[in-house]
């Protein structure tokens, strides 16, 4: 194997601060040997202790597969840079965010690291190309931008410098995947990379509006959080990250600074760290906006400028729309990606808005990106048109889904994975719509059974997506029970494969399934009451029909979690199974469902579901009609013939 393709086994992390020790920790958890280096012994020791503390916490929460001491033992510490990198297959520099400092480090690394080592910087804002220029091997240098804190944040931007080869970037990408994290390619060395480029206008556009008395701080924050579902308001976020950070980024980029931002920096009101910023944390209560404050805020203006930034990135081949959306969801916690949101708004609406703003204000930032104009001129105006930044399936078949994965195998098993692991597979409107679309667009005759599961190892689903939840206008919320009804009425047996949290709407989805199997580590509950709500996806009704009155009410009224054992004991689930036996038990159930007689299973499901709400006489009548009908099917002939011949039946559903 040529040196440049050597397997990565040893990773040197240079810098033991917050990012450095976090990167070292996630790297050691993934099984790599790590050397953590900083310039002073105290700093390295502090970093190592942080790792030990964090590993203990993960172990306490059951989120570590190994003994924390064994993981920590894979981290060696040193203050000697040469010793740290001399055996490293990958060096990740996480030092101070100053170009000259990073260039000095890279020069020393270049002299001491083996040929073929990947040299990465965790810089969040500096040019990868300029850092790489300090080495004789800029082709092996790349950016691996982890987000803070690395142990919690899934996203890593994999950034090309001008000389970075595809092979270097690909090795970096695969390394990040091996950590169990989500990499996105940033194919050009642009300032702010992807996430910070798109996040820029989220924070600066409202600041321009406030500076021009076109909005208030509380109004902007309330609108973006309560009306648009962002996890934090732009000013609240500015206070958290430090107003000076955004200020300096803009100054260095030679971009104009909104007056309100400049004023805060001049007065040293930098946010939470100085106890005063856009909000007052000393004499006031910090961000205390309420939904009513949002009224009249022009959020289209903010989202249009963000979409324009995203269009520049796609048009300039910096990142795909998919990568941008992944980046904004995982890196900034945005409810969906900026490109997807723009497609939903309509790219023609966005273009029109930008042109109007450009006419009114004349500022460069409103000048529509060429790519946006091209899309609109080509008629690719977004979701409704079937194509915008993304392509949408407007036909009858299953679409191109983003929050679920699915697979239909040759046996007719439809496996549906709820795929929002960074949000504990919380059920957003999009996810619910995608499940409904999938089940209604697949050819039922090809499906024999359906299994639902959650992506990742933490949750089946932790409920409805709470972001911006409390203030959603019920009239704007799509029918909350549609997904549950669609699943409950699906004419094939359905099974929920539960490993982890199964809460709120997640439990409602599981209860809409016919069968539920869970690992013993799973937890169940309806926490809605703690939010001032009640289970609104059929939970109250299914629970009261399934459990005793007292148990159903205990679940709904107290909002407490119950263990899988108790759930099985109560009859809420079919089995609670040890993790190491779980796959086997699920397979046994599934094998019975996919090989069973489809018509009889469909009829049995229907008469049991519908008969449960009828009188016994009406239920018995439904049952006997179904029984008579089944006697006329080929499947009965096959079943009885197979019994007589002592062989397995092969039901065709005819």
Ligand X SMILES: C/C=C/C(=O)SCCNC(=O)CCNC(=O)[C@H](O)C(C)(C)COP(=O)(O)OP(=O)(O)OC[C@H]1O[C@@H](n2cnc3c(N)ncnc32)[C@H](O)[C@@H]1OP(=O)(O)O
Active site residues: 124, 145, 157, 196
Interface segment toward ligand X; rule CB under 6 A; list 383-391, 429-437, 458-466, 614-622:
458-466
**528 forms part of the interface with ligand X (CB under 6 A):** yes
Q: What is the dihedral of CA 462, 182, 413, 490, to 10 degrees?
A: 40
Which residue, 254 or 474, is less far from ligand X as judged by CB? Answer: 474
Q: What is the dihedral of CA 47, 53, 55, 57, to 10 degrees?
A: -150
DSSP state for residue 146 in the 8-state scheme = E
CA dist list (Å): 151 to 45, 59, 66, 68, 242: 19, 13, 16, 14, 22
CA 223 to CA 227: how far, in whole Å? 5
> Residues 256-285 vs ligand X: string with x where CB under 6 A?
------------------------------
CA 198 to CA 324: how far, in whole Å? 8
Beta-strand runs (E) in 465-616: 494-498, 501-503, 515-519, 523-525, 562-563, 575-577
Which residue, 26 or 119, is less far from ligand X as judged by CB? Answer: 26
> Residues 288-327 vs ligand X: string with x where CB under 6 A?
----------------------------------------
- Alpha helices, DSSP H, located in 6-80: 18-29, 41-60, 68-72
CB of 172 to ligand X, least distance (A): 24
CB of 504 to ligand X, least distance (A): 2
**466 forms part of the interface with ligand X (CB under 6 A):** yes
CB of 12 to ligand X, least distance (A): 28
CB of 159 to ligand X, least distance (A): 23
Residue 162: is it exposed, middle or buried by C-beta count within 10 angstroms (0-12/13-18/19+)?
middle
Residue 6: is it exposed, middle or buried by C-beta count within 10 angstroms (0-12/13-18/19+)?
middle
Which residue, 18 or 349, is less far from ligand X as judged by CB? Answer: 18
Interface segment toward ligand X; rule CB under 6 A; list 290-298, 352-360, 531-539, 607-615:
531-539
The residue number whose beta carbon is nearest to ligand X equals 504
**421 forms part of the interface with ligand X (CB under 6 A):** no
Contact predicate 242/275, CB 8 Å: no
**509 forms part of the interface with ligand X (CB under 6 A):** no
CB of 418 to ligand X, least distance (A): 12
Contact predicate 311/197, CB 8 Å: no
- Residue 200 phi/psi, 5-degree rounding, is -50, -60
Q: List the one residue out of 494, 499, 491, 537 whose CA is nearest residue 514.
A: 494
CA 348 to CA 613: how far, in whole Å? 49
Q: List the one residue out of 601, 603, 649, 641 whose CA is nearest residue 622.
A: 603
CB of 152 to ligand X, least distance (A): 6
Which residue, 480 or 598, is less far from ligand X as judged by CB? Answer: 480
Interface segment toward ligand X; rule CB under 6 A; list 83-91, 297-305, 313-321, 459-467:
459-467
Residues 123-182 that bind ligand X (CB under 6 A): 152
Sole binder of ligand X in the list 22, 388, 454, 504 (CB under 6 A): 504
CB of 521 to ligand X, least distance (A): 13
Q: How many other C-beta atoms can be found within 10 angstroms of the C-beta atom of residue 123?
A: 24
Q: List the one residue out of 562, 559, 555, 556 whose CA is nearest residue 523.
A: 562
> Residues 323-362 vs ligand X: string with x where CB under 6 A?
----------x-----------------------------
Interface segment toward ligand X; rule CB under 6 A; list 156-164, 232-240, 366-374, 528-536:
528-536
> Residues 8-47 vs ligand X: string with x where CB under 6 A?
----------------------------------------
Contact predicate 119/91, CB 8 Å: yes
Sole binder of ligand X in the list 85, 209, 503, 511 (CB under 6 A): 503
Interface segment toward ligand X; rule CB under 6 A; list 132-140, 199-207, 270-278, 461-469:
461-469
- Alpha helices, DSSP H, located in 501-574: 504-512, 539-546, 549-558, 564-570
> Residues 233-252 vs ligand X: string with x where CB under 6 A?
--------------------
**492 forms part of the interface with ligand X (CB under 6 A):** no
Contacts of residue 609, Cβ cutoff 8 Å, sequence gap at least 6: 488, 489
Which residue, 298 or 325, is less far from ligand X as judged by CB? Answer: 325
Sole binder of ligand X in the list 200, 463, 597, 598 (CB under 6 A): 463
- Residue 194 phi/psi, 5-degree rounding, is -95, -55
Size of the site for ligand X (CB under 6 A): 23
**465 forms part of the interface with ligand X (CB under 6 A):** yes
CA 113 to CA 409: how far, in whole Å? 48
Sole binder of ligand X in the list 37, 102, 171, 423 (CB under 6 A): 423
- Residue 378 phi/psi, 5-degree rounding, is -85, 0
Sole binder of ligand X in the list 135, 467, 522, 540 (CB under 6 A): 467
CA dist list (Å): 428 to 195, 477, 558, 559: 22, 11, 24, 21
**535 forms part of the interface with ligand X (CB under 6 A):** yes
449-454 sheet: strands from edge to edge: 404-408, 413-418, 449-454, 494-498, 515-519, 575-577
Residue 485: is it exposed, middle or buried by C-beta count within 10 angstroms (0-12/13-18/19+)?
middle
Residues 176-205 that bind ligand X (CB under 6 A): none
Sole binder of ligand X in the list 161, 368, 537, 597 (CB under 6 A): 537
Sole binder of ligand X in the list 436, 464, 573, 590 (CB under 6 A): 464
Residue with tokens 């393709």: 5
Interface segment toward ligand X; rule CB under 6 A; list 27-35, 233-241, 418-426, 436-444:
418-426
Interface contacts to ligand X, rule CB under 6 A: 152, 333, 423-424, 426, 462-467, 480, 501, 503-505, 527-528, 531, 533, 535-537
């Amino acid at each position: 194997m040529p040196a440049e393709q050597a397997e990565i086994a040893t990773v040197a992390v240079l810098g033991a601060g917050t990012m450095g020790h976090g990167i070292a920790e996630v790297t050691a958890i993934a099984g790599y040997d790590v050397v953590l280096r900083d310039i002073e012994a105290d700093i390295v020791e502090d970093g190592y202790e942080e790792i030990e503390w964090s590993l203990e916490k993960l172990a306490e929460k059951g989120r570590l597969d190994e003994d924390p001491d064994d993981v920590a033992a894979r981290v060696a510490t040193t203050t000697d840079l040469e010793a740290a990198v001399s055996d490293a297959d990958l060096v990740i520099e996480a030092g101070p965010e100053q170009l000259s400092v990073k260039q000095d480090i890279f020069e020393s690394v270049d002299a001491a690291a083996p040929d073929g080592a990947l040299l990465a910087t965790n810089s969040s804002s500096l040019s990868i190309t300029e850092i790489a220029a300090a080495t004789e091997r800029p082709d092996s240098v790349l950016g691996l931008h982890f987000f803070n804190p690395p142990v919690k944040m899934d996203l890593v931007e994999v950034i090309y410098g001008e000389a970075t080869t595809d092979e270097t970037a690909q090795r970096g990408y695969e390394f990040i995947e091996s950590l169990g994290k989500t990499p996105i390619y940033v194919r050009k060395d642009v300032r702010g990379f992807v996430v910070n480029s798109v996040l820029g206008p989220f924070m600066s556009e409202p600041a321009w509006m406030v500076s021009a008395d076109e909005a208030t701080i509380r109004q902007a924050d309330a609108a973006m959080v309560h009306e648009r579902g962002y996890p934090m308001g732009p000013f609240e976020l500015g206070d958290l990250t430090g107003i000076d950070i955004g200020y300096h980024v803009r100054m260095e980029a030679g971009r104009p600074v909104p007056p309100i931002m400049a004023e805060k920096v001049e007065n040293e009101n930098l946010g939470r760290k100085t106890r005063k910023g856009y909000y007052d944390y000393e004499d006031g209560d910090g961000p205390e906006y309420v939904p009513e404050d949002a009224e009249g805020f022009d959020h289209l203006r903010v989202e249009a400028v963000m979409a324009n930034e995203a269009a520049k990135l796609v048009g300039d081949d910096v990142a795909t729309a998919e990568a941008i959306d992944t980046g904004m969801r995982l890196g900034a916690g945005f409810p969906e990606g900026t490109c997807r949101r723009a497609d939903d708004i309509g790219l023609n609406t966005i273009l029109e808005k930008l042109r109007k703003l450009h006419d009114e204000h004349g500022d460069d930032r409103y000048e529509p990106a060429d790519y946006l104009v091209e899309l609109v001129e080509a008629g690719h105006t977004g979701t409704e048109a079937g194509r915008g930044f993304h392509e949408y399936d407007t036909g009858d078949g299953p679409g191109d889904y983003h929050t679920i994965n699915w697979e239909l195998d040759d046996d007719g098993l439809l496996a549906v994975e709820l795929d929002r692991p960074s949000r504990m597979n919380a059920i957003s409107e999009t996810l619910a719509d995608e499940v409904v679309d999938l089940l209604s667009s697949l050819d039922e005759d090809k499906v024999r059974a359906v299994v639902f599961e959650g992506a990742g190892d933490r949750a089946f689903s932790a409920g409805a997506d709470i972001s911006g939840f409390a203030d959603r206008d019920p009239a704007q919320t799509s029918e909350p029970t549609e997904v549950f009804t669609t699943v409950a009425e699906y004419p094939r047996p359905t099974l929920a494969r539960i490993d982890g949290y199964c809460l709120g709407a997640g439990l409602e989805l599981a209860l809409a399934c016919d069968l539920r199997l869970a690992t013993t580590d799973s937890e169940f509950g309806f926490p809605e009451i703690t939010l001032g709500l009640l289970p609104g996806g059929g939970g109250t009704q299914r629970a009261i029909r399934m459990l005793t009155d007292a148990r159903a009410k205990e679940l709904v009224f107290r909002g407490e979690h119950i263990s899988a054992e108790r759930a099985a004991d109560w009859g809420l689930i079919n089995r609670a199974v040890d993790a190491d036996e779980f796959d086997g038990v699920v397979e046994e159930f599934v094998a019975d469902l996919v090989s069973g007689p489809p018509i009889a299973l469909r009829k049995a499901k229907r008469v049991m579901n519908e008969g449960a709400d009828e009188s016994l006489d009406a239920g018995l009548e439904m049952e006997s009609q179904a029984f008579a009908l089944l006697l006329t099917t080929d499947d009965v002939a096959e079943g009885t013939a197979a019994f007589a011949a002592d062989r397995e039946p092969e039901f065709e559903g005819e």
